[in-house]
Amino acid sequence: MQGKIVKLLYNAQDYISGQQMSESLGVSRQAVNKAVKSLKDKGFKIKSVTRKGYKLEKFPKYLCEEAIKCYLNTKLIGRNLKVLDTVDSTNDYLKKLADDGAEAGTVVLAREQSSGKGRLGREWISPKDNSIALSLLLRPELTPNEISSITPLSGLAMCRAINDFCMLDSRIKWPNDIIVGKKKLVGILTEMAAEFDMVDYTVTGIGINVGQTVFPEEISHKATSILLETGRHIDQNKFIATVLNYLEQELIINHYSLGGQAVADYQKLCATIGRQVTFTRGKRNISGMAVSVNNSGELDVMLSNGTISTVNSGEVTVQGIY
């Protein structure tokens, strides 16, 4: 109901009467008044003038379901959307919803996480309103081996959304960091629940550094934020709608496949390709030149003896980045 009121106000672009809203939604005037009041409590600035009605003047500054949905063009991703003020980890929260049968495309966002999880058992720090935590539930009809494209396609979508919305030249550091220059802006962590040879669901968690100006000492040399890179505070709701629109484009429209155009696009945006990299195999550190990313999202590295070694996970250090 509140979402529908926001849409009416947003599309009206000027005053719209309470009567008109109650008629087009088939609800009472009191219900409209109540919804408008709740929206004001959430941070929407709505002006009311006798005999003219209501006018939407400002969206809330921070993440808000109704505001994001206003800008959303997707059919699946984010149609079911929840914004939390604070949570331990959006990935853990969404996995519980998934176990209870939540639908594919469900998105959980949090303004703050108290125990955000990074890759390889690391911690992901999400300070309130300065970092966005997003988790996306998918239920692809794929085998566990076939879902390796979900993280790279999500990275591609993130890179496009950032470059489009923030006018930045962000790139992908294989496999799943989004960087600007030599510093990390976004981290991605995909988790999966599967039975034998069929995936039940995947939860892709995306952590975006939005407004930090300082980082903990351990990561300050390699972390950045949209604010630091652009000097501007972004409209977080519009930005997240852009992210979800791109996630739908890259994941759903590409049928989860990193084939043809998607892999070519990924490679164009991948800062790792063409650089010296070091990765670990067992206990050995191996170095070589990153030459390409294949349709499964694996990195092909040419070793000094001319052979190609394919890396599918783990930590890769890239010379000149981190």
Q: Which residues bind ligand BTN (CB under 6 A)?
A: 89-91, 113, 116-119, 122, 124, 133-135, 177, 187-189, 205-207
Separation of alpha carbons 144 and 218, rounded Å: 34
Of 69 and 184, which CB lies nearer to ligand BTN in the complex structure? Answer: 184
Residue 187 C-beta: closest distance to ligand BTN, Å: 2
Q: 275: how many CB neighbours lie within 10 A of its CB?
A: 16
Residue 167 C-beta: closest distance to ligand BTN, Å: 24
Give the chain's end-to-end CA distance (angstroms, integer).
47
Q: For residue 201, list its beta bridge partners.
A: 193
Of 21 and 159, which CB lies nearer to ligand BTN in the complex structure? Answer: 159
Q: 55: how many CB neighbours lie within 10 A of its CB?
A: 16
Of 78 and 207, which CB lies nearer to ligand BTN in the complex structure? Answer: 207
Separation of alpha carbons 99 and 201, rounded Å: 9
Q: Which residue minimizes CB distance to ligand BTN?
A: 187
Of 32 and 223, which CB lies nearer to ligand BTN in the complex structure? Answer: 223
What does DSSP say about strands 107-110 and 81-84: parallel, antiparallel, or unpaired? parallel
Residue 222 C-beta: closest distance to ligand BTN, Å: 11
Of 53 and 205, which CB lies nearer to ligand BTN in the complex structure? Answer: 205
Residue 133 C-beta: closest distance to ligand BTN, Å: 4
Residue 186 C-beta: closest distance to ligand BTN, Å: 8
Of 295 and 317, which CB lies nearer to ligand BTN in the complex structure? Answer: 317
Burial 56-91 (b: 16+ CB within 10 A, else e): beebbebbbbbbbbbbbebebbbbebbbeeebebbb
CA distances from 196 to 142, 182, 190 (A): 11, 40, 19
Residue 192 C-beta: closest distance to ligand BTN, Å: 14
Residue 5 C-beta: closest distance to ligand BTN, Å: 29
Of 69 and 95, which CB lies nearer to ligand BTN in the complex structure? Answer: 95
Q: Angle CA(90)–CA(71)–CA(110) in degrees, nearest 5?
A: 15
Pair 49, 15: CB distance under 8 Å: yes
Q: Phi first, then psi: what are they for 42, rounded to 5°?
A: -85, -5
317, two tokens = 């250090």
